[in-house]
Chain A
Amino acid sequence: MSKMTDFKEKILQSIKKVDIPILVIVLFLISLFVLAAFTSVSITGLLNDSLVRIGMNGVLVLAMLPTIRAGIGPNFGLPFGIIGGLLGMLIVMQYQIMGPVGFLIAIVISVLFNLLFGWVYSWLLDKVRGQEMMVETYVGYSIVAFMSIMWLILPFSNPEMVWAIGGRGLRYTLTLQGYFDKVLNNFLRFKIFGDLYFPTGLMLFFALMCYIIYLFFRTKAGLGIDLVGQNEMYAISSGVKPKVARRNAVILSTVLGGIGIIVYAQSYGFVQLYQAPLFMTFPAVASILIGGASIKRASIANVVFGTVIFQTLLTVSLPVLSQVTRGDITEVLRLIVSNGMILYALTRAPKEAN
């Protein structure tokens, strides 16, 4: 009997711990699936899309983890890392390295670029301690604007990449067909039932990245980041140099941003240049927050859970709601959810500090 009540209490407590906005979003998601059953939308199709979108966005969301844990907050300057990833892919395309090898080389190049970018970026963030999030946002805008010029100037010459007329300047969207389009998605892909396929490679890659980050946070360097994020004075008195720990976190986040965009691009099948990197940040920030993270604390579980909820919501809402209502409200919904979630997390921050 007492065990029963114990169990009950435990459930009640864990329900109490769940944030109300997250609960609302989850309930909304469930109701969308219920609604889908009454419409002619194919549920397996929805699940397929959801699985793919979870895998393709996961690493970008993971990039938020290191900076949050270092106490800097979500990395709103994600475009910095994305630029590194784009450079990696563009160089691979320029040299026409095809297939999975191209994918791996793109990652290696992007990591090299991002080690440098992350170092510069962390130096900048160290100058603006306490207002990182705002500065990050502007860094994101600036770097994208700057690179928009560079995309026109950089000496890429592969005819598949540059404008057909004039032969100079990169196109807005480059297709990865023939390069590494869907190498992860199709790796060990298998059929679950009917039309439902499991993108094994994509999922494995996401899981692998999560595991690496999980292991990293159990090393001395990772623990240092955690300590600085939680109590800087404790960290100092433990012999951790806060500057170095923060720098590690920012570099790690930038590198993950680069890898994240490559994974995203191979799944999407296109490399998007110019303004596109700007639109990756907010969904990533919103995802980790929906997963239960705050701007001060986050875990791998928050990343996974948040990505699943957010991406499923987006995939499911479009076809279902467009059948029920007239017109497309998905984009509106996406903006409300992602911006609303960020706003909510920011208002919650001062309360947590006490």
Chain B
Amino acid sequence: MKNVLEMKNISKTYYGNQVLKGVSISVGEGEVLGLVGENGAGKSTLMNILFGMPVIHSTGGFEGEILFNGEKVNIDSPSKAMELGIGMVHQEFMLLPSFTVTENIKLNREITKPNFVSKVFGKKMETLDMPEMRKEARKALDAIKMNSIDELDYIATLPVAHKQFVEIAREIDKKNLKLLVLDEPTAVLTESEAENLLNVVRLLSEKGIAIIFISHRLHEVLEVANRIVILRDGLLVAEGKKEEFTIYQIAEKMVGRKIENIQLPPRKKEISDKNIIMSIKHLKVHMPGEEVKDFSIDIRDGEILGIGGLAGQGKLGIANGIFGLYPSEGEVVYMGREYQLNSPMFALKNGIVYVSEDRRGVGLLLDESIEMNIVATAISAFGMFTKKFLGLTIYDTKAIREHAQKLIHELDIRCKGPSQPVRRLSGGNQQKVCLARAFTLNPKLLFVSEPTRGIDVGAKKLVLDYLVKLNRELGITVVLTSSELAELKSICDRIAIVSEGKLAAILPPTAPDVDFGLAMAGELKEVRVNE
């Protein structure tokens, strides 16, 4: 079998952070290569390199070489990739909703015929040959056995699954298509639709098109792929024929990593299953991209609860929903009383504080000073740091300065002073400001989402240590949501894994990696509660 694509020793560094370390993959004619890995394992970066995305070249390019049909190629733009015959079906739909299926399939490759004007002004002015375009679009749709899609329907009126197939049809319609990349094509599909899609994948591979199939639904990968490549932390950790793997092994390889065992300080008061601070039942949160569909859990007083799961599965939606930043519904009981959803003020008043995963978008006032960022919420929600002046309650600059200085010292925020705008701080220091703000609000229950995203190792440790300190010394219950399993394992008492908007499993931090891997992929059905 001839190799269509070979990527050799690919390495890529983003801002000093190596995300791919000497990865080599190859795909043969008519072969389906399953590419699996956690979020941040380097899958997308690898595909971006293959597709010549501008983000790669604007950050200093990459190392290694790409061979296409045995020849060394330099893919420096997506259009170059398309010329070579590389097609990609994106995770999010790249379709124009108010155009018809035909127009979308033939977009920018329209069939035209000359007319009077075009003879004067050139090819750009030629008339679209609609009947011909229709015919070809039909052919492409039929090729993937999508006879039920009308080529004249508007995209906006199609169900989600059909949109996905239109995308595939568009790629197929490219006459020179030799390699097709499918990035999480089944993420939005139901099981039977996904089955359909897998059939299409098989069909295409029979036609001799090489396919790279990226999915976190491991059973699909096992079903459709001929060969499987597993990435973890930018390294290729395993590669081989699909017969060599079981779901179990893939899951283990995907997440497995050495865990540093931090010795956690002891608690003053032991946590118990009887002492529940918040009980969540059937929580639904409408957060675009992180929809929570039906999540239930009891949060025990004084514990550090971890919430993990893959991106887009809803783990981030939980904290956002409880705090009221996104519309949510469900039954929540907090400290024995009914809890009012959809009201940040209610949450704040009851000692629930949320540190957002979107540091720059939600968590900070970028152009304001460090001190204002720390105290603004406390002033507006509780009237802290205020004094009476001429009958008005105004904020007290002196008290604010003192408080800010104390926390800057305590959290080791590296800055020029409390009045420096936070925009100019590094990610780690910005995160510390967020934590200082949360601490200022005297939380009883603290939700922290992705606190270590995009910050360096030293700051990471400090942030986690601070969370442990708040938990142990002040008895604050912490709910830590993170994509980094290692981080959850290092400080949490138990870890809830969310998959498809639902609780997949509650695991102790000592559980084997394979369990986490299976739970994330939605394959571990039974729920084990930590004793």
Residues of chain A touching chain B, judged by Cβ–Cβ distance below 8 Å, are: 215-216, 218-220, 223-224, 227, 230-231, 233-240, 297
Contacts and interface: CB of A to CB of B under 8 A. Distances in A.
Interface of B: 323-325, 344-345, 348-349, 354, 356, 358, 361-368, 376-377, 379-381, 383, 386, 389-390, 392-395
Given A230-B365, A238-B377, 11 more contacts: A220-B386, A227-B376, A227-B380, A230-B366, A231-B365, A234-B363, A236-B324, A236-B344, A239-B348, A239-B377, A239-B381
Given A233-B361, A234-B364, A220 B383 contact: yes
Contacts, number: 71
Q: Point out which of A215, A218, A233, A297 has the most chain B C-beta atoms below 10 A from its C-beta.
A: A218
Nearest to B345: A239
B362 A219 contact: no
A65 B412 CA distance: 36
A221 to B, nearest CB: 9
B379 A223 contact: yes
Nearest to B353: A237
Given A215-B394, A237-B325, A237-B356, A231 B380 contact: no
B368 A230 contact: yes
A215 B345 contact: no
25 contacts: A215-B390, A215-B392, A218-B394, A220-B383, A223-B376, A223-B395, A224-B380, A227-B365, A227-B380, A230-B365, A231-B365, A231-B366, A234-B363, A234-B365, A235-B380, A237-B323, A237-B356, A237-B362, A237-B363, A237-B377, A238-B376, A238-B377, A239-B344, A239-B345, A240-B380
A292 to B, nearest CB: 14
B32 to A, nearest CB: 42
B363 to A, nearest CB: 7
Contacts of B368: 230
Given A218-B395, A230-B367, A233-B362, A239 B390 contact: no
Contacts of A219: 392-395
Given A215-B394, A218-B394, A227-B376, A238 B364 contact: no
B349 to A, nearest CB: 8
Nearest to B375: A223
Contact of A220 (B354, B365, B379): B379
Given A233-B325, A238-B377, A239-B381, A220 B393 contact: yes
A234 B362 contact: yes
Contact of B380 (A220, A230, A297): A220
A238 B364 CA distance: 11
Contacts of B380: 220, 223-224, 227, 235, 238-240
A240 B380 CA distance: 7
What are the 7 tightest A-B residue pairs by CB atom distance, in nearest-first order? Answer: A239-B345, A238-B377, A218-B394, A233-B362, A239-B381, A230-B365, A238-B380
